[in-house]
Structure 1
C-alpha cells in the first residue's frame, strides 16, 4: 500500500483536470472535430497548462510523495498535452530530478522529453511520439533511428515495433467504439502511453 500523499487536495485537482480533459483528448484522436471544438479544447489545455505552471513554480514536480502515483501521472498528462515548449522544457528538468530521487517513474520523463523535443522542432530521442495523418499513424522523427531500440531498452521501453503495434491496437479499439468507419482525419501529436 502506498503512503498517503502530502497534498491530497492538489492530487485530486490534478486528477480531476485530467479526467475532464481526457474526453476531448480522445475525441480529437477518434474523429475529426470542427473549428469551434478545437478552440474549446485548446482553451482547456491552456487553462490546464497555466495551472500546472503554478504548481511547478510552487512545488517543483508533483511526484509520488507529494500527490501520490495517480496525481503524479495526472501532472505528467497535463504537461504532455500542454504543448507549450517553455512549460514542457521546465517540466522535463523538474521531472528528471524527481525520477533521480525515486519520486516519479522514468518512462514519464522520456515521453515528456520526446514531446518537448518535437515541440521544439527537433528529432525525438526515444521514439514515443507519433502523428495521426490522413494516411495513418507515423512516428515523429527520431535521432539516430538505428540505435532507437537500444536506447528504448536502456530505459525499460519495449522495442519500437512492439510499441507501434500496441498503439495501433489501442487506436483501433478506440476508433471502432466511436466511429465504425475507422477514418482518420486529424493531424495531432500522440504518445505511446498517454
Structure 2
C-alpha cells in the first residue's frame, strides 16, 4: 500500500515549479555572473517568497499532508532562499511546529535555523551555512563547537567533517590567476 498523495496537489505543483525556477535562475546566475542573470534570480526568489506567504496565510505551513514530501521540501527551499528575513523567522516558527507534528523534517529545520541565525550575525547551531567567495569556503561561526556533531545527529545530519567536504566538493574554488 502506498502513502496517500497530498491533499492539495495543485499547491505541491506550484511549489515544485517555483523551486525549479529558482534553481534554474541560481544555476544561470552562477554560470553567467551578470546583472540580467542576478535580476532573474531576484525575481525567482521574490516570486517564491510571495507565493509561499500566500499559501501560509491561507493554509498554514505546507507540510507533508498538504503538499506531499516533495512539495513540503520545495516550501522549505523557498523559505530558506528568501531575502525576507522577517518571513524567514515566521517560516522558522511554523517549520518548528510542522516538525513536531511530523509534517516536516528536522534536517529542514536545522538548515533554516542556521540561515536565520547567520542573517542576524549569530553563531549557527548545526554548521550548515558557509561563506563562499573566490578564495575560500569557510563555515560561519558555530555555537558550542564541541557539541556540534551531537546536535547535527539529533537533526538527522551527517557529521560536520563529511558535510564540510560535500560543500567544498560542490563549490570548488576557482584557480587563482597568478599572471600579472
What TM-score do you get using the length of structure 2 for normalisation? 0.89
Residue by residue over 1:23-71, the C-alpha shift from the partner in whole angstroms, topping out at 9 and shown as x without a partner, is 122344x446122321221122112111111111111110000010010
> Across the two proteins, how many residue pairs are aligned to each other?
175
The equivalent residue for 1:10 is 11
Alignment of 1:97-176 (within 5 A): 97-172=97-172
Runs of 4+ with >6 A deviation? none
DSSP-derived class of the 1:131 partner: strand
- Note the residue ranges of structure 2 that are not aligned, 5 or more in a row: none
- CA separation in 1, counterparts of 2:133 and 2:22? 22
Residue by residue over 1:81-129, the C-alpha shift from the partner in whole angstroms, topping out at 9 and shown as x without a partner, is 1032111110011111111011111110111111111122221111111
Alignment of 1:51-66 (within 5 A): 51-66=51-66
1:20 paired to 2:11: no
- CA separation in 2, counterparts of 1:145 and 1:164? 14
Bigger relative CO (Cα 8 Å, ≥ 6 apart): 1
DSSP-derived class of the 2:81 partner: helix
What TM-score do you get using the length of structure 1 for normalisation? 0.83
- CA separation in 1, counterparts of 2:112 and 2:144? 19
Pairwise CA RMSD? 1.8
Q: C-alpha displacement at 1:184, in angstroms?
A: 7.8
- Note the residue ranges of structure 1 that are not aligned, 5 or more in a row: 173-181, 186-194
- Which is higher, the Rg of structure 1 or of structure 2? 2
- Indicate conservation of the 8 Å contact 2:114/2:127, yes or no: yes
